A = this chain, B = another copy of it.
Amino acid sequence: MNGAQSLIRTLVDAGVDVCFSNPGTSEMHFVAALDSVPEMRGVLALFEGVVTGAADGYARIADKPAATLLHLGPGLGNGLANLHNARRGHVPVVNVIGDHATYHKKYDAPLESDIEAIAGSLNGWVRRSANSADVGADAAFAVAAAQEAPGKVATLILPADVSWGDGGVAVKPVPPRSPQTVAETTVKAVAEVLRTGEPVALLVGGLACREAGLRAVSRIATATGAKPFVETFPARLERGAGLPTIERLAYLAEQVQWQLEGIKHVIVAGTKSPVSFFAYPGKPSDLVPEGAQVHTLAELDQDVVAALEALADEVASDVDPVLQEPARPALPSGPLTVQNWVEVIGALLPEGAIISDEANTSGLLLPGATAGAPRHDVLTLTGGAIGQGLPVAVGAAVAAPDRPVIALQADGSALYTISALWTMARENLNVTTVILNNHAYAILRMELQRVGAEAAGPKAKDLLDLARPDIDFVKIAEGMGVAATRATTAEELADQFRNALAEPGPHLIDAAVPPLL
């Protein structure tokens, strides 16, 4: 077998059997090799940001990495923003990046660039396969590296001649390193903090945002009075009726200060101590209240769920978690507002839904409206690089074909990776996209005020305005093969949302929700 065939066979044997792809000439032997390994599914995207975001969304739901197939440095560049989000969410991704043949690089052909430098910015694992006989082993290590706790982006650079050369060897999976166990002394020390009676906040992230972790958090909070929070942007948050509802730490620093007011101890587990998303003139970057102490229960690479369960057994051995009762908002009526569109979603959210949430300012009231809906997952914008929502929905739908995927997507952010709609159509994915179309970079209007740049004039405001011309997402979706409708009232949104969920395949609703501000 050639290098490409050994690579794909090794990936499949390690459980990596989906490859989101946007290939070029240097990847043609990889593409040709797909037919020799029937278990590998190739999913085409028309832009690399869709490829990488889909790999991210896939892994969040499948709990194992997908592969990407990218074309040299420019392909990696196009995929970099969503790889940044994956990195920040500690989501495993295995990049395969084709490069020029080893002997061709010295000629500095037009597409030559420093792939290692770009991939290196992701602080993950990077390796260049040197010959066809090694590429199988390199792939096995890449999958293990991606899955090493808490999850990272592993990049395998595949020169064209390594791909087409003979002598490839498929290699057995390399077991990823297990997460470290938190020491019992650490658990007991944190338990002592909870027993002081002083005001404590418990902030958890990573895998603690799934059911087992949340149940432990709820038990601890109920028994000790600690204020529990999940991190601001969890990669995957399990929530809904029957699960504990744990508030997310807010995005705005002002709100975090309010959430943590009076706190004397911040216990962190599976995430980092809270910091401001951006700096603002005259405002602190560190959001731990002055004088409060930070205690780490579990580092990012440790087994946070086991640590939380051990802590719960220590301080709440006879306490049950508080579980969310089923509760849905009533279906609202009238013209769409920032308030009522989330009530429509909350009223109609189906059991087992996966929400890809990039609603940004329009989604401020979403958590409250969906807390008591049937159990669902929420995938959030982990790294702050917008243009993630639609690709992540693609990947989630590939990972869970039997679950309804709902992409709640701000208009401005949607345009970065809009061709994700085409992949939804091509793969007939059950994704219902709701575009919150407020014709503005509304979050930047807010940020323009928050950074103290109130004196902004018409030129500045014009750069935050998407209304000249208005963007018609119905036409764009139809142009990419996705059925689409427009909703201007809550009733229309409810009807269209219900219909979209009832029919197989992708749908888009262009919802005229006015800006928050």
Contacts and interface: CB of A to CB of B under 8 A. Distances in A.
A334 interface: no
A453 B28 contact: yes
A34 B463 contact: yes
Contacts of A382: 110
A385 B111 contact: yes
Contacts of A46: 412, 415-416, 466
Contacts of A160: 278-279, 451
A325 interface: no
A279 B44 CA distance: 24
Of residues A24, A285, A459, A470, which shows the largest number of chain B Cβ atoms within 10 Å of its Cβ? A459
A107 B447 contact: no
A164 B281 contact: yes
A328 interface: no
Interface stretch (A54-62, A96-104, A128-136, A184-192): A96-104
A88 B73 CA distance: 13
Interface in A90-140: 100-101, 103-104, 107-111, 113-114, 117-118, 120-121, 123
A118 B278 CA distance: 21
A361 to B, nearest CB: 12
Given A275-B109, A476-B480, A448 B32 contact: yes
B278 A463 contact: no
Contacts of A281: 161, 164
A286 interface: yes
Contact of A279 (B104, B117, B419, B469): B104
A383 B29 CA distance: 22
B475 A479 contact: yes
Contact of A117 (B101, B120, B459, B465): B120
A73 to B, nearest CB: 7
A21 interface: yes
A422 B475 contact: no
A264 interface: no
A470 B460 contact: no
Given A78-B80, A110-B383, A462-B42, A278 B481 contact: no
B474 A103 contact: no
A380 B31 CA distance: 27
A108 to B, nearest CB: 7
B110 A24 contact: no
A418 interface: yes
A21 B49 CA distance: 19
A79 to B, nearest CB: 8
Contact of A425 (B28, B110, B469): B469
B42 A463 contact: yes
A444 interface: yes
Contacts of A452: 164
Contacts of A103: 279, 285
B426 A468 contact: yes
A35 B476 contact: no
Interface string A414-453: 0110110010011000000000000000011001101111
A101 to B, nearest CB: 4
Interface in A273-287: 275-279, 281, 285-286
A172 interface: no
A25 interface: yes
A313 interface: no
17 contacts: A26-B278, A28-B451, A32-B453, A32-B457, A34-B457, A35-B457, A74-B80, A75-B81, A77-B118, A78-B78, A78-B387, A84-B113, A88-B110, A109-B278, A111-B383, A111-B385, A160-B279
Given A47-B387, A118-B121, 19 more contacts: A25-B278, A28-B447, A28-B448, A32-B455, A34-B457, A34-B459, A35-B457, A47-B415, A103-B279, A104-B278, A108-B272, A111-B384, A111-B385, A118-B118, A161-B279, A471-B480, A472-B478, A472-B480, A474-B479
Smallest CB-CB A-B distances: 4 pairs: A77-B80, A469-B481, A35-B457, A475-B479
